[in-house]
Amino acid sequence: MTVDPAARVAELRAQIAHHNERYFAMDAPEISDADFDLLVRELTELEAAHPELAVADSPTQTVGASATFAPVEHEIPMMSLDKAFNTDEFDNWHTRLVRAAGEGRELGSFVCELKFDGLAISARYENGTLVRAATRGDGRVGEDVTANVATIANVPKQLGSDAPAILEVRGEVYMPISDFNALNDARREAGEQLYANPRNTAAGSLRQKDASVTASRNLRWFAYQLGQVEGAPTLTRHSETFEYLDSLGFPVNDQVKVVESADAVKAYFADAEARRHEFDYETDGAVAKIDSLAMQRDLGVTSHHPRWAIAFKFQPEEKSTKLIDIQVSIGGKGKATPFAVLEPVFVGGSTVQMATLHNEDQVKVKNIRPGDTVLVRKAGDVIPEVLGPVLSERAPDLPEWTFPTHCSCENHHPLSRSEGDAAHYCLHPTCPIQRDAWIEHFAARAAMDIEGFGERTVQLFTAQGLLSDIAGVYELDFEAVGQIEGFGEISVRNLETSIEASKGQGLGRLLIGLNIRHLGNSGAHVLAKAFGHLDKIIEADLETLASVDGVGPTIAESLRAYFDDEINLGIIERLRAAGVDFNGPEVIEVDQTLEGLAIVVSGGLENFSRDSVKDAITSRGGKSPGSVSKKTTALVVGESPGASKVTKAEELGVPIIDEAAFVELLETGVVPPG
């Protein structure tokens, strides 16, 4: 193929800049992360191969976070705060603290503050001069954004002559809501795409290679905490830091309040929540800190949070919006799932325009109809959920919604719902939507994990007739792929490499990719381990299959039906011919320390990936279910664990342990005390 590298580089830069803007600033990505990475990787490699084409402001220098900004290690880590989602959780925190403070010792007063929805920043001054500003990053290492922060109007660049030798000030950078709205008004008039929300816009504005862009946006910050300090007057109370910061010329928020009791803290929280929309900045909660610095020191920190502070999260916001339509998506196994198409509404920190409705009955239970005004919120702060209609706003003649009788694909196959089933299915084996979903599923991370083979790529390939089933992935005509726009020499080679690598993923992942009804992650790996080779499973009778622990009559039946199907067997033979590994995992001898135990993991750990942690547990004879129950031996929490799991574990008295204790548990099979 003869493509002019200079032209391709220019094209890639334009594409990357466009998608970068969509992703970071507008909150509306058009392509998947994997596809985006492919573009960046191709550009990086082209620039490496043609150094004369590399330029300083190339997107390869500015995307991917760490590429642009030098890492900065925080002398004192910027820890995140423990969270309470309701007053009960706050009471629990308070009770723990009273106990930790010790007999007859008062916790003293609390400082209440708002929790700003912006970017946490640490600014370091040496002998009164701003020398460095860094983002929070992972808490230990952030990014150097000094040039950008220096353009923020109310960040002091130079302190008075009484400034200490070293002063590290922590605060939150934000964009005032009024400025955000003005910016969007201007963009609307110019016909430009609107920014999604103040927080993302502030983040995008700050993380600019060109600091003059940052300067053109009206960013502000509030200072609220000291980090490393040398040569400053000794403070005894956290509330004094606000007075001190103010005296040095730092902007501090005017809603800070010192109160004397836990009840007064709760009153502050309730008041802040009620008034949250009065402020010209976004808040997502309020914070209480123990005022006495001596008491803070004594209470200390856990591996993730200071014990002396807690963030109270405001209730998830509910907004009303228009239910434009109810549409149906078709999954890889033909399942038809209705979802709400909403007039875009900003709720709980992001713009929502879709929400799943699960099935026909759920639509009935919720009593919603296209055209209704509906209430929307974020379940668990993440997943959009339609709560129900605002009946007072329903037009009297608004018709009820009925489940479509036919698949939305071009062949309009019939959809059917069997007796006793909640879901509708499109059972047609040649449905193109199902076909695409299956191939996507096959390439997905839990299955064959083929990088760069996402939704967009699959649809492109099937539409071009390059691919019609999963075995086709290994029969791809790469010459033809190279002809498709957007597939340069390098991205074709990368794709070829990752497809080749996927052949060795092993039986467990292959079984997942085969798309067998009722067989998911867990069942697939159990079978792979029990049988050791795909042919043994294909030959096994119902009884043998169902005798495997975790496989019952339904899954056994489903397996038999799958492997009795000539079409499926044909696909499997083509996979074999392509050299796909049909072997199960090698059984490595590890001490079965966790026999009979169930360990749930939530949040990211430092020394384990999501997969490796499950492996560490199951290879030692333990189970690693996805949710906490009273049978759970322990809940391991890492960085930002799921709140519901922690709450559940607390309710049931399941021990909650950190990574270090988990490692000990792996070795000993005993939950360490503490």
Partner DNA sequence: ACACCTCGAGTTCT
Partner DNA sequence: CTCGAGGTGT
**320 is an interface residue for DNA by CB under 7 A:** no
Out of 231, 300, 579, 626, point to the residue binding DNA (CB under 7 A): 626
- The residue (of 400 and 651) whose beta carbon lies closer to DNA is 651
**362 is an interface residue for DNA by CB under 7 A:** yes
**591 is an interface residue for DNA by CB under 7 A:** no
Out of 9, 114, 556, 616, point to the residue binding DNA (CB under 7 A): 556
CA distance 617 to 610: 11
Minimum CB–partner distance for residue 379 and DNA (Å): 4
Q: Which segment (65-73, 120-128, 354-362, 402-410) binds DNA by CB under 7 A?
A: 354-362
Between the alpha carbon of residue 202 and those of residues 180, 217, 286, the distances in Å are 9, 8, 20
Minimum CB–partner distance for residue 230 and DNA (Å): 36
Tokens 């059972």 sit at which residue? 427
Q: Which segment (274-282, 530-538, 570-578, 636-644) binds DNA by CB under 7 A?
A: 636-644
Q: Which segment (5-13, 77-85, 167-175, 642-650) binds DNA by CB under 7 A?
A: 642-650
Q: Which segment (156-164, 207-215, 513-521, 584-592) binds DNA by CB under 7 A?
A: 513-521
Tokens 């030798």 sit at which residue? 165
DSSP summary character for residue 93:
H
User: How distant is the alpha carbon of residue 27 from its chain centre?
Assistant: 14
**642 is an interface residue for DNA by CB under 7 A:** yes
**331 is an interface residue for DNA by CB under 7 A:** yes
Counting every residue written for the chain, the total comes to 674
Minimum CB–partner distance for residue 92 and DNA (Å): 18
Q: Which segment (118-126, 159-167, 173-181, 630-638) binds DNA by CB under 7 A?
A: 630-638
Out of 629, 640, 651, 660, point to the residue binding DNA (CB under 7 A): 629
- The residue (of 416 and 629) whose beta carbon lies closer to DNA is 629
- Count of other CB atoms within 10 angstroms of residue 175: 29
Q: Which segment (85-93, 185-193, 207-215, 382-390) binds DNA by CB under 7 A?
A: 382-390
- The residue (of 226 and 637) whose beta carbon lies closer to DNA is 637
**380 is an interface residue for DNA by CB under 7 A:** yes
- Mark residues 1-30: x for contact with DNA by CB under 7 A, - for none: --------------------------xxx-
- 517 touches 558 (CB < 8 A): yes
- Count of other CB atoms within 10 angstroms of residue 520: 12
Tokens at 210, concatenated: 């060109």
Q: Which segment (122-130, 218-226, 262-270, 519-527) binds DNA by CB under 7 A?
A: 519-527
Minimum CB–partner distance for residue 525 and DNA (Å): 8
Q: In terms of Cα–Cα distance, which of 280, 313, 295, 321 is closest to 237?
A: 295
**641 is an interface residue for DNA by CB under 7 A:** no
Minimum CB–partner distance for residue 22 and DNA (Å): 9
Which residues make Cβ contacts (< 8 Å) with residue 146, sequence separation at least 6?
130, 131, 132, 133, 134
- The residue (of 204 and 488) whose beta carbon lies closer to DNA is 204
Tokens 């796909």 sit at which residue? 580
- 319 touches 331 (CB < 8 A): no
Out of 209, 305, 319, 517, point to the residue binding DNA (CB under 7 A): 517
Minimum CB–partner distance for residue 446 and DNA (Å): 8
- 19 touches 36 (CB < 8 A): yes
Between the alpha carbon of residue 451 and those of residues 35, 494, 572, the distances in Å are 9, 9, 22
- The residue (of 520 and 570) whose beta carbon lies closer to DNA is 520
- Mark residues 644-673: x for contact with DNA by CB under 7 A, - for none: xx----------------------------
For DNA (CB under 7 A), the number of binding residues is: 65
Minimum CB–partner distance for residue 364 and DNA (Å): 10
Minimum CB–partner distance for residue 118 and DNA (Å): 13
Which residues make Cβ contacts (< 8 Å) with residue 206, sequence separation at least 6?
119, 135, 145, 148, 149, 173, 214, 219
Q: Which region holds residue 95: left if phi is over 0, alpha if psi is between -120 and 50, else beta?
A: alpha
Q: Which segment (110-118, 301-309, 573-581, 619-627) binds DNA by CB under 7 A?
A: 619-627
- Count of other CB atoms within 10 angstroms of residue 573: 11
Q: Which segment (144-152, 187-195, 356-364, 470-478) binds DNA by CB under 7 A?
A: 356-364
Instruction: Please list the residues that pair with 77 across neighbouring strands.
Output: none
Per-residue b or e along 462-473, where b marks 16 or more CB atoms closer than 10 Å to that residue's CB: beeebbebbbbb
Catalytic positions are 115
Output the CA torsion 110→224→640→278 (10° steps): 80
Out of 9, 16, 470, 555, point to the residue binding DNA (CB under 7 A): 555
Q: How many helices (H) and strands (E) does the chain have?
A: 24, 21
**523 is an interface residue for DNA by CB under 7 A:** yes
**314 is an interface residue for DNA by CB under 7 A:** no
* Type of residue at 493: R
Phi, psi of 19 (to 5 degrees): -70, -35
Out of 9, 159, 439, 551, point to the residue binding DNA (CB under 7 A): 551
Q: H or E segment at 257?
A: strand 257-259
Q: How many CA atoms lie within 13 A of 161 on its CB side?
A: 0
CA distance 669 to 622: 9
How is 585-650 classified by DSSP, letter by letter? Answer: --------TTTT-BEEEESB-SS--HHHHHHHHHTTT-B--SS--TT-SEEEE-BS--HHHHHHHH
- 171 touches 121 (CB < 8 A): yes
- Mark residues 91-130: x for contact with DNA by CB under 7 A, - for none: ----------------------------------------
Tokens 């802040």 sit at which residue? 272
- Mark residues 394-433: x for contact with DNA by CB under 7 A, - for none: --------------------------xxxx----------
Out of 9, 84, 155, 352, point to the residue binding DNA (CB under 7 A): 352
Out of 108, 300, 553, 596, point to the residue binding DNA (CB under 7 A): 553
Minimum CB–partner distance for residue 254 and DNA (Å): 29
**170 is an interface residue for DNA by CB under 7 A:** no
- The residue (of 156 and 384) whose beta carbon lies closer to DNA is 384
Minimum CB–partner distance for residue 672 and DNA (Å): 21
Tokens 């993730």 sit at which residue? 304
- Mark residues 184-223: x for contact with DNA by CB under 7 A, - for none: ------------x---x-----------------------
Q: Are strands 424-426 and 220-230 parallel, antiparallel or unpaired?
A: unpaired
Chain positions contacting DNA, by CB under 7 A: 27-29, 33, 196, 200, 329, 331-333, 335, 337, 339, 350-356, 358-359, 361-362, 379-380, 382-385, 420-423, 437, 441, 517-524, 549-556, 598, 623, 625-627, 629-632, 642-645
